[in-house]
Amino acid sequence: EAQVTQNPRYLITVTGKKLTVTCSQNMNHEYMSWYRQDPGLGLRQIYYSMNVEVTDKGDVPEGYKVSRKEKRNFPLILESPSPNQTSLYFCASTMTNSPLAEAFFGQGTRLTVV
Amino acid sequence: DQQVKQNSPSLSVQEGRISILNCDYTNSMFDYFLWYKKYPAEGPTFLISISSIKDKNEDGRFTVFLNKSAKHLSLHIVPSQPGDSAVYFCAASEASGTYKYIFGTGTRLKVLA
């Protein structure tokens, strides 16, 4: 089954403790992206990647890192999480670089930083 | 500065009637627009898209209209069904190949049986 898998689905952590949210897709998609969803703010793009070793900042990259060492994986790293990074996070992948192409989203990771 | 705005946080429609969801944008460089639907506890799913060279695109019960001069797009769902109850996001992108998207804040649609 074609899918984007995020882990963990839920995470509660403390301020400053480094964490990684994993994202994996099995569709051989070149393009991957991370978003956060917050009440009243909709979805905001954090980082995106157009290919292996090619990443770029989205709208809200501060406090986040990403890496794309292999095509299927695109982990999101919070080196020193803070409470304002409490949010619902989504990973997405897209087959082509057409801006009209459908993005496939994971089920989300709900992160709470206390 | 919200470049993509969905000014109606919620909308209720009777089953069988038309649902119209609106989206306004401020950046005249946006050329590509997409609509996604999101159910609770799930990721968004793609619905329909349109580029600025068109003013209308249809897919079954879903039609997106684009008025570039007004910087406005709308999603029409006809007829509306209870299964359409979800949060709808519009998204916009400036140029091909950047894969950078700006999303609106979403409109929660409730279709009443």
Reported as a single tens digit per residue, the pLDDT across B84-109 is: 999 999 999 987 667 789 999 999 99
Q: What is the mean pLDDT of residues A15-25?
A: 97
**A45 contacts on B by Cβ (under 8 Å):** 100-103
A79: left (phi over 0), alpha (psi -120 to 50) or beta: alpha
C-beta separation of B63 from B75 below 8 A: yes
pLDDT, mean over chain B: 94
Quote the percentage of chain B above a pLDDT of 90: 89
Q: Is residue B103 less than 8 Å (CB to CB) from chain A?
A: yes
| Alpha carbons A100 and A92: distance in angstroms, whole number | 14
What is the distance in angstroms between the Cα of B110 and the nearest Cα belonging to chain A? 18
How many contacts (CB atoms, under 8 Å) link A and B?
Answer: 73
Which residue is associated with the tokens 């580029």? B51
What is the model's pLDDT at position A98? 79
How does residue A106 score in pLDDT terms, banded at 50, 70 and 90?
very high
End-to-end CA, chain A: 36
B44: closest chain A residue by CA = A105
| Alpha carbons B35 and A72: distance in angstroms, whole number | 25
| Alpha carbons B72 and B66: distance in angstroms, whole number | 6
Give the pair of three-digit tokens for residue B23.
Answer: 């989206």
pLDDT of A14 strictly over 80: yes
pLDDT of B111 strictly over 70: yes
What is the model's pLDDT at position B96? 61
What is the distance in angstroms between the Cα of B106 and the nearest Cα belonging to chain A? 6
Q: What is the mean pLDDT of residues A87-113?
A: 92
Q: What is the mean pLDDT of residues B71-85?
A: 97
Give the pair of three-digit tokens for residue B37.
Answer: 């639907």
B89: closest chain A residue by CA = A42
pLDDT, mean over chain A: 94
